[in-house]
Amino acid sequence: MNLDVKGSKVLVVDDNPANIDILVELLSDYDVRAVLDGESALEAVREELPDLVLLDVTMPGMDGFDVCKQLKTSARTKEIPVIFLSASDDDSSILRGFDAGGVDYITKPYRASEVLVRVRTHLQLYSALRQLERIATTDELTGVSNRRKFLMRSEGLIRQAKAKNVPLYLAVIDLDGFKPINDTHGHHVGDAVIRAFASAAKEILPPNSCFARLGGDEFTVMLSGHEGSVLKRIELLRSLTEKIRVKGHDVKVAASIGVSRLSGPDDTIQSLLERADEALYQVKEKGGNTVIANL
């Protein structure tokens, strides 16, 4: 696991420019951005996510504790490590910092070696956690989301679609004739087909879609939009699958695709998958290589 954290993004928040100058000079190995108050800190994080926040406790307006609490209430920023900076070294202040969600507490005046060690340690921990999360949620063969990540993301997309009353579709995709490819040409060719399909799908699916490999030769994608445009995109994916080739091997690939639509307040990812699977079964019964929508 690569834990080289040089160049990591560090946000320094302190209302004293002299303190900022000290930290910027100390942290020359990192990409440091500095702001002077809590509101500016929240705005800076919204613009660009840092890998670590060094946050002064005592500032005019919003203090450091309140800034940290706000960061911890957002799913997008709650995992970013926050190290508090303060001239107060009493137990109550330190405990308050940890209660607010901080991972560490550095007292002023700064000791250069202490700052460097604490910053490097928490950047390495954060980097390791993100790498482990990627390993746990990414399909190793294709680099797309795995089943676990898909189920995690799909729940949020369903909630959002219900709240905003926007159409949401789920497609389950099964590659026709995949087992004979493995049996005839070997698993390395089968793997090449899987990678080629995932690559083709990523090329034509919109960035806000939720695409994943469920396992084997089965994939799924969740899409929002008008019915006609969604089904057209899914049909394009089916047609592109027929064009997959593996150099040096005569393989023929096609895709059977079943589609369901979010249809009511009681719908869940399980019910969407069940209806898409029913449509997929109908496709298989008809010989495969087509799209059937169970809407």
* Catalytic machinery residues: 217
Bridge partners of 171, per DSSP, are 221, 259
- The SS3 assignment for 196 reads helix
Bridge partners of 53, per DSSP, are 11, 82
- Give yes or no for a contact between 121 and 189, defined as CB atoms under 8 angstroms apart: no
- 256's enclosing H/E stretch is strand 254-261
Query: Long-range contacts of range 238-241, CB-CB < 8 Å, 24 or more positions apart?
Result: 238/289, 238/290, 238/291, 240/200, 240/204, 241/175, 241/197, 241/200
- 13's enclosing H/E stretch is strand 9-13
- 124's enclosing H/E stretch is helix 112-137
Sheet holding 104-107, edge to edge: 31-35, 9-13, 52-56, 82-86, 104-107
d(CA 212, CA 149): 8
Looking up tokens 């190995």, which residue turns up?
A: 29
Q: Read off the tokens for 250.
A: 């005569």
